[in-house]
Amino acid sequence: MLRTSTGGAGHGTASAGGRAMSIGTVLVQLRDEFPEVTISKIRFLEAEGLIEPQRTPSGYRKFSSGDVERLAQVLRMQRDHYLPLKVIRGHLDALARGENVALPASGGQRDLGDGTWDSDPGRATAARIGRSELLVAAEVTEGQLDEWESYGLISATPEGAYDAEMVTVARLVADLGRFGLEPRHLRAMRAAADREAGLVEQVVAPLRRHRNPQTRAHAEATAKELAELSVRLHSALVQTALGIRLH
pLDDT digits (tens, 9 = 90+) for 10-56: 434 344 456 788 888 898 889 888 887 888 888 888 888 889 999 88
pTM of the model: 0.50
Q: Is the predicted pLDDT of residue 137 greater than 50, yes or no?
A: yes
Q: Is residue 41 part of a domain?
A: yes
With respect to residue 220, please indicate whether it lies within any of the assigned structural domains: yes
For the segment 221-241, what is each residue's pLDDT rounded down to a tens digit? 888 888 888 888 888 888 888
**pLDDT, tens only, 181-215:** 999 999 888 898 889 889 989 988 888 888 887 88
17: in domain? no
Average pLDDT taken over every residue of the chain: 78
| Closest C-alpha among 193, 189, 187 to residue 148 | 187
Confidence of residue 109 (pLDDT cuts 50, 70, 90): very low
227 found inside a domain: yes
- Nearest alpha-carbon partner for 149 in 173, 125, 116: 173
pLDDT tens, 142-179? 999 999 999 999 998 888 888 878 888 898 899 899 89
Q: pLDDT, tens digit, for every residue of 50-88?
A: 899 998 888 888 999 999 999 999 988 888 877 778 888
Chain-centroid distance of CA 158 in Å reads 24
Query: How many domains does the chain divide into?
Result: 3
- Domain containing 124 equals 105-181
8 part of a folded domain: no
Q: For residues 109 and 195, give the distance between their C-alpha atoms in angstroms, rounded to a whole number.
A: 35
Query: Which of 103, 132, 154 delimits the end of a domain?
Result: 103
Which pLDDT belongs to residue 105? 53
Of residues 110 and 206, which shows the higher confidence score?
Answer: 206
Residue 11 forms part of a structural domain = no
Residue 112, pLDDT above cutoff 70 = no
